[in-house]
Amino acid sequence: MYDLIVIGWGKAGKTLAAKLAAKGKKIAVVEENPKMYGGTCINVGCLPTKSLVHSAKLISQVKNYGIDGDYEFKNNFFKEAMKKKDEMTTKLRNKNFSILDTNENVDIYNEKGSFISNNEVKVTTKDGEVVLKADKIVINTGSVSRNLDIEGANNKNVLTSEGILELKELPKKLLIIGAGYIGLEFASYFRNFGSEVSVFQFDDSFLAREDEDEAKIIKEILENKGVKFYFNTSVKKFEDLGDSVKATYVKDNEELVEEFDKVLVAVGRKANTENLGLENTSVELGKFGEVVVDDYLKTNAPNIWAAGDVKGGAQFTYVSLDDFRIIFPQILEGTKGRKLSDRVLIPTSTFIDPPYSRVGINEKEAQRLGIAYTKKFALTNTIPKAHVINETDGFTKILINENNEIIGASICHYESHEMINLLSLAINQKIKANVLKDFIYTHPIFTESLNDILG
């Protein structure tokens, strides 16, 4: 009998296991895939992709000094980048495994787990089936990529975001299906590596949730780098050509055919709840297959919680860590503290080149809510540091309400992913805009641009 069973080795689950085991609780961790110790972020998500973002940026910066090469040069660089990425993920995966494996209060089951009741999870080991029992259970199985339901979609050259991270050669010609945030990140850094990149979007939308002026600038930045966008374009089928794939697609009602080395399907992710045996519990699923939870991440079952991507909503590692903060006191002491409704601000960064970061509300949302605001806007080429490092693309937009409080910020420049956290703190703590405007910053840095932008 365990105090807690954690199904899935994501950020929230592994942290709960480590912290509760340190408090003397007996924990079982069930993870069927040994390549997923540590969760999506470490293995197939934010860290390996950002490693490639960094490597791709290096080769793009070298071009600014007139150093370029043929495909063989770029492919060799890509292979080294993939090697560095693999070394990093292996190191972090092993570290995550070791933290729990060396704890005497944690038992690890490298098998598929499925519920047989609200308190029981079945795992199949080499010695047969084992039924684990616990007073409390946390579902932390993450999310998986969505696939296309069309002819030839199972072709070996048609990949999801997980598969494309295992490439051995740089694709000369890459098709990305989906102009969402994930698709744009891959488009940006594969273009920096030197691939010819085409992006198909089924309708005419581009970053539809963002303000139109921001989306327009971001699209122009990517197009100037050589990314080609095709709107109102849908693939009908794929045909295997051995080392490449032929895509038959329809654009503006015209059927066309084109050959690509690889295809990335980036049409979103879904909660990983299939084959968990949830039909044997009182856990309820939402319309997209996500686990339904209350404000404290508890499911319909009184002893089962869900954390991370599997519960739907924002799919970020730092959100999963915050899920840990919500669940931890409930399991340890039976007390309730932090809750989902306390999570009013979630800053985001999309790691295109340059990164695009957001927090708070944008103009669309302010207008919909009837909130009066003043807009402060500046192009990145007005920032001295941008010229120092030859990173002048992008913009900064900050919205200020009638009380002189910042209510939203959008930044697209080289340091946006760092700078957005300062503005998130300002919104959260209701720091007046003039405080940031008159603050003394070091020089030359991107953050000092607040002196001028807020002026």
In the annotated binding site for FAD, the residues are 50, 113, 141-143, 309
Point out the annotated binding site for NAD(+): 178-185, 268
- The residue from 387, 413, 417, 443 that is catalytic is 443
Token pair 């891959």: residue: 186
Q: What is the identity of the amino acid at 144?
A: V
417 catalytic per annotation: no
Instruction: Give residues with Cβ within 8 angstroms of 125, minimum separation 6.
Output: 109, 111
The structure tokens listed for 21 are 């085991």
- Which residues are registered as beta bridge partners of 4? 27, 136
Q: Which of 369, 346, 351, 55 is nearest to 194 (CA)?
A: 55
Q: Could you tell me which of 82, 230, 251 has the C-alpha nearest to residue 169?
A: 82
Give the residue ranges of the annotated binding site: 50, 113, 141-143, 178-185, 268, 309
b (16+ CB within 10 A) / e for 394-407? bbbbbbbbeeeebb
Main-chain phi, psi angles of 105, to 5 degrees: -90, 5
- Report the sign of the C-alpha dihedral through residues 220, 223, 227, 228, in that order: positive
Q: Residue 394: left if φ>0, alpha if ψ -120 to 50, beta else—which one? A: left
Beta strands in 110-253 (DSSP E): 113-117, 120-125, 128-139, 143-145, 158-159, 173-177, 196-200, 228-230, 233-240, 245-251
CB 131 within 8 A of CB 120: yes
The order of strands in the sheet holding 348-350 is 348-350, 356-360, 406-412, 395-400, 374-379
Q: Which residues contact 403 (CB under 8 A, 6 or more apart)?
A: none
DSSP state of 285: B
Catalytic annotation, residues: 443
